[in-house]
A and B are shown apart, each in its own frame.
Chain A
Amino acid sequence: MRNLLLSVLTASVATGALVSAAAADITITYPSGWEGLMEPAFEEFEKKTGEKVVATVVPKEIDKRITIDLAGGAATDVIVYDSYRTSEYAESGYLADLNGYTASWADWDHYFGSLKDISTIDGAVRGIPVYTDVRMLWYNRAIFEKAGIAEPWEPKNWNDIFAAAEKIKASNPDVEYPLYFPVGTKLGEATTMQGFYMALLGADGAEGGANRLRDWDAGQWIGDSPAIRKTLSFYQDVFVNKELSGRELYYTPDVWGDMRRAFANGNIGIMANGSWEFNSIWRSAGIEKSTDERNEFMAWTKFPGDGSENAPATSNISGGWNIAIAESSEQKDLAWQLMEAIFEADRYAEWVAGQGRPAVRRDALEAPAYKADAYLTSLSPLLEDTTGRDTFPGYSSVSAFVQQATTDILDGKSIDETVATFRENLEDEFGEEEVKIIE
């Protein structure tokens, strides 16, 4: 028995030693495609500190991976996360307070105030923004030419979008997706942001949260409103009444890659999507195209409002990604040193310009590589006229309900049925008193 106890103790000590050794490494989780930003920073950090960086590179669905890692207590020291999660993660106690670090970090002054606000909850900085984005309608110029649609295409309302898509459908029956409009649950947040919210913002005026999912003044989620109904009827027109889009592309094993390849191969006429697609489409499709060739192939226009009296002329919404330290990290100082290396000014500016992503720091906007990029500078009008999501705790559930509502429309349910289920879901989740109905 004594021998047995000794064996168990030895094994425990050995396991403990292994765990301690592993804890000395700095761990980080980031999405694939960010190697250009991360790997030189790791090298610099390792040289400077003598510590090793152990990275987990996530190819797909990093948002879900990070959330489950945090909830399960298995998060790495440093994490890359979708900035809209900041308030929920902070409320759950998952993100470290970075105030102590940013106070003495000169680079923090370069960040735009609005983005600092998104990442600051109750006075505590919880994440450092990496880049932002804007949303628009992309279109295939050759398909437009064949359909006889004049360029530059500047739709004034939703009917103009439908009219263009119908012309594409009539002139080019091989195009399975005259209008690609994110729908369903498999695209996740993209359905809410690139699709639903873009339409919602243009469906009514902003007063009382009439064109949003949350009334911030009243502190309530919106369970039913004319704008929500109009947005769902937009989906109904696209997928059911006018049949302007197939359905398969929203549910394939590789929803992002297949969508991009479909656009590159001329199977999509108009596409509601984001600013990153100017580069991402070609990277995913494995096609080398110069900037001129891309401009020859595709163009973008602002997403118009629905054309009703109070509605804005165009809509746009921005998101972005942050880097943060997990509260569970036992090496926060080292983790911050790694973050400083990642955000080294010159390297960051070059990388963000190379990615075709709008930067979030003034110094990066002044970098030669960024200034020389005509596409990035063309996004300025959208960056000046944008809004963010309702990043209040509970938003991710609301977003999932939105995705389910678009699924219901695809399944052939009526607007009334779909809205009733959406409202019921909100009331189940937050209680009736926290749900507002706009007549």
Chain B
Amino acid sequence: MISTSHVWLRRSAKPMAIAAIPAVLFILLFIFYAGWTIWTSFTDLSLLGRKSINPSFVGFDNYIRLITRDGFLQSVWTTTVFTFFSAIVGQCGIGLLLAIIMKSSRFRLKSFVEFAILFGWLAPDVVAAFMWNAFASSDGMINVIILQPLGFESVNLLNEYAIEVVIISNIWKGTAWSYLLFSAALDTVSREVIEAAYMDGANALQRLRHVLLPLLRAQIATNLLFVTIWTYAFFSLIYALTGGGPGRETEVLSIYMYKQAFDVGKLGYGSAVAIAMMLIVGGLSIFYVRQNKDQTR
């Protein structure tokens, strides 16, 4: 029974308890799967064969292999580069910049820009992958419209600059979220504060650095937290666009984990990769939250 002094809540206790059942079930389900993944990471459970029926407990073997075998550390590095440039610098940075510029832009230009970036957000990942493949191929739009007219030779961008193409495509895909969040945050900034800074003689850069950014700190931190978590575990666009290749150039952690679990069939090792990913993202999240707290004190 829910204990509360609020009359309405007390009278609604029964329907609320029923309504809470799905939430409780989902929470239990999440706990179950997280627990199952942790347990699996200490076994040699396989997708097929003997070990799929009778897995053995292998202690920390899978975790030791993360460090001693090729693949995992390289993927951590690839994922970090991908996340830093596409989420932190790209989506968050460009989203903030666009939001500030569009704040005082004319309606038509603003509508056009918003449509363009929202289109990227709304396009399904697989569709986006096919589009970027077409853009970046040797006879694709980037070569035909930009590089060739400027006198450059045609370049197969996915052959030569795969990680760069993947980063840019993810910036295109995800900037809308940051833009919308920062646009909404900018609406809450009092016009008087900006005008006061202007009257005090602050130039545009100073107004941005000393007035706007401190006022938006909480939203920036929250956004960084979100985009980092999403991007660190991002899978579909990269998998469809390059499958982690050429070679291992774009093999981020989520793709590495998928290949180990479902191509090689090592569910135990794949689970260890998943847990390691969770710890990395968890560590980054704690870092962001602490930074935000320290600076708001």
Question: Hey, which bits of chain A sit against chain B, CB under 8 A?
Answer: 4, 64, 67-68, 71, 85, 88-89, 91-93, 176, 184-186, 188, 246-248, 250-255, 393-394, 396-397, 400-401, 403-404, 407-408, 410-412, 421, 424-425, 428-429
Given A92-B52, A253-B240, A428-B69, 9 further pairs, Cβ under 8 A: A85-B48, A93-B53, A185-B263, A253-B241, A396-B265, A397-B264, A400-B265, A411-B249, A428-B65
State the Cβ distance, B242 to closest chain A Cβ, in Å: 5
State the Cβ distance, A81 to closest chain B Cβ, in Å: 12
Q: With A396-B48, A424-B69 as given contacts, are A64 and B262 in contact (CB-CB < 8 Å)?
A: yes
Q: Which 3 A-B pairs have the closest CB atoms?
A: A186-B243, A251-B245, A411-B247
State the Cβ distance, B160 to closest chain A Cβ, in Å: 9
Q: With A64-B262, A246-B159 as given contacts, are A185 and B48 in contact (CB-CB < 8 Å)?
A: no
Q: With A88-B49, A185-B259, A400-B259 as given contacts, are A246 and B265 in contact (CB-CB < 8 Å)?
A: no
User: In the complex, which of the residues A92, A93, A247 contacts B245, with contact meaning CB atoms closer than 8 Å?
Assistant: A247
Q: With A67-B48, A68-B47, A400-B264 as given contacts, are A251 and B69 in contact (CB-CB < 8 Å)?
A: no
- 14 A-B interface contacts by CB (under 8 A): A67-B48, A68-B47, A91-B50, A185-B259, A247-B247, A251-B162, A396-B264, A403-B263, A407-B245, A408-B70, A421-B69, A424-B69, A425-B69, A429-B266
User: In the complex, which of the residues B18, B69, B156, B246 contacts A184, with contact meaning CB atoms closer than 8 Å?
Assistant: B246
Q: Which residues of B contact A71 (CB under 8 A)?
A: 47-48, 52
Interface centre among A93, A185, A246, A410 (most CB of B within 10 A): A185
Complex: how many Å from CA A251 to CA B129? 12
Question: Hey, which bits of chain B sit against chain A, CB under 8 A?
Answer: 14, 18, 46-50, 52-53, 65, 69-71, 126, 129-130, 133, 137-138, 156, 158-159, 162, 240-249, 259, 262-266
Q: Which residues of A contact B53 (CB under 8 A)?
A: 92-93
Q: Once the chains bind, are B48 and A91 in contact (CB under 8 Å)?
A: yes
Q: Once the chains bind, are B245 and A250 in contact (CB under 8 Å)?
A: yes
A392, closest chain B residue (CB): B49
State the Cβ distance, A344 to closest chain B Cβ, in Å: 32
Q: Once the chains bind, are A186 and B245 in contact (CB under 8 Å)?
A: yes
State the Cβ distance, B250 to closest chain A Cβ, in Å: 8
Q: With A92-B53, A424-B69 as given contacts, are A248 and B18 in contact (CB-CB < 8 Å)?
A: no
Q: Which residues of A contact B247 (CB under 8 A)?
A: 184, 247, 407-408, 410-412
Q: Which residues of B contact A188 (CB under 8 A)?
A: 263
Q: Once the chains bind, are B130 and A253 in contact (CB under 8 Å)?
A: yes
Q: Once the chains bind, are B48 and A89 in contact (CB under 8 Å)?
A: yes
Q: Which residues of B contact A64 (CB under 8 A)?
A: 262-263
Complex: how many Å from CA A67 to CA B53? 14
Q: Once the chains bind, are A185 and B243 in contact (CB under 8 Å)?
A: yes
Complex: how many Å from CA A188 to CA B239? 13
Complex: how many Å from CA A425 to CA B269? 12
A421, closest chain B residue (CB): B70
A-B pair count, CB < 8 Å, reads 108
Complex: how many Å from CA A91 to CA B137? 44
Q: Once the chains bind, are A252 and B133 in contact (CB under 8 Å)?
A: yes
B157, closest chain A residue (CB): A248
State the Cβ distance, B31 to closest chain A Cβ, in Å: 20
Q: Which residues of B contact A410 (CB under 8 A)?
A: 245-247
Q: Which residues of B contact A401 (CB under 8 A)?
A: 264
Complex: how many Å from CA A403 to CA B251? 14
Q: Which residues of B contact A396 (CB under 8 A)?
A: 48, 264-265
Q: Which residues of A contact B241 (CB under 8 A)?
A: 253
Complex: how many Å from CA A188 to CA B52? 21
Q: Once the chains bind, are A91 and B49 in contact (CB under 8 Å)?
A: yes
State the Cβ distance, A236 to closest chain B Cβ, in Å: 13
Q: Once the chains bind, are A68 and B246 in contact (CB under 8 Å)?
A: no
Q: Once the chains bind, are B133 and A253 in contact (CB under 8 Å)?
A: yes
State the Cβ distance, B63 to closest chain A Cβ, in Å: 13
User: In the complex, which of the residues B18, B52, B129, B244 contacts A185, with contact meaning CB atoms closer than 8 Å?
Assistant: B244
Complex: how many Å from CA A89 to CA B241? 31
Q: Once the chains bind, are A184 and B48 in contact (CB under 8 Å)?
A: no
Q: Once the chains bind, are A246 and B49 in contact (CB under 8 Å)?
A: no
Q: Which residues of A contact B47 (CB under 8 A)?
A: 67-68, 71
State the Cβ distance, B175 to closest chain A Cβ, in Å: 22
Q: Which residues of A contact B18 (CB under 8 A)?
A: 4
Q: Once the chains bind, are A393 and B49 in contact (CB under 8 Å)?
A: yes
B237, closest chain A residue (CB): A253
State the Cβ distance, B69 to closest chain A Cβ, in Å: 7
A3, closest chain B residue (CB): B14
B44, closest chain A residue (CB): A429
Q: Once the chains bind, are A393 and B243 in contact (CB under 8 Å)?
A: no
Q: Once the chains bind, are A394 and B262 in contact (CB under 8 Å)?
A: no
Q: Which residues of B contact A424 (CB under 8 A)?
A: 69
Q: Once the chains bind, are B137 and A248 in contact (CB under 8 Å)?
A: yes
Q: Once the chains bind, are B126 and A253 in contact (CB under 8 Å)?
A: yes
A188, closest chain B residue (CB): B263
Q: Once the chains bind, are B52 and A247 in contact (CB under 8 Å)?
A: no
Q: Which residues of B contact A93 (CB under 8 A)?
A: 53
State the Cβ distance, B62 to closest chain A Cβ, in Å: 10
Complex: how many Å from CA A247 to CA B245? 9
State the Cβ distance, B156 to closest chain A Cβ, in Å: 5
Complex: how many Å from CA A89 to CA B53? 11
User: In the complex, which of the residues B48, B50, B156, B248 contacts A407, with contact meaning CB atoms closer than 8 Å?
Assistant: B248
Q: With A397-B264, A428-B69 as given contacts, are A186 and B50 in contact (CB-CB < 8 Å)?
A: no
A401, closest chain B residue (CB): B264
Q: With A71-B48, A429-B266 as given contacts, are A251 and B248 in contact (CB-CB < 8 Å)?
A: no
State the Cβ distance, A408 to closest chain B Cβ, in Å: 8
A428, closest chain B residue (CB): B65
Q: Which residues of B contact A428 (CB under 8 A)?
A: 65, 69
Q: Once the chains bind, are B138 and A176 in contact (CB under 8 Å)?
A: yes
B69, closest chain A residue (CB): A424
Complex: how many Å from CA A421 to CA B68? 11
Q: Once the chains bind, are B243 and A394 in contact (CB under 8 Å)?
A: no
Q: With A67-B47, A185-B259, A393-B50 as given contacts, are A248 and B266 in contact (CB-CB < 8 Å)?
A: no
State the Cβ distance, A317 to closest chain B Cβ, in Å: 20
Q: With A4-B18, A251-B158, A429-B266 as given contacts, are A184 and B50 in contact (CB-CB < 8 Å)?
A: no
Interface centre among B48, B49, B243, B264 (most CB of A within 10 A): B48
A4, closest chain B residue (CB): B18
Q: Once the chains bind, are B48 and A88 in contact (CB under 8 Å)?
A: yes
Q: Which residues of B contact A4 (CB under 8 A)?
A: 14, 18
State the Cβ distance, B180 to closest chain A Cβ, in Å: 28
Q: Which residues of A contact B71 (CB under 8 A)?
A: 404
Q: Once the chains bind, are A92 and B48 in contact (CB under 8 Å)?
A: yes
State the Cβ distance, A60 to closest chain B Cβ, in Å: 11
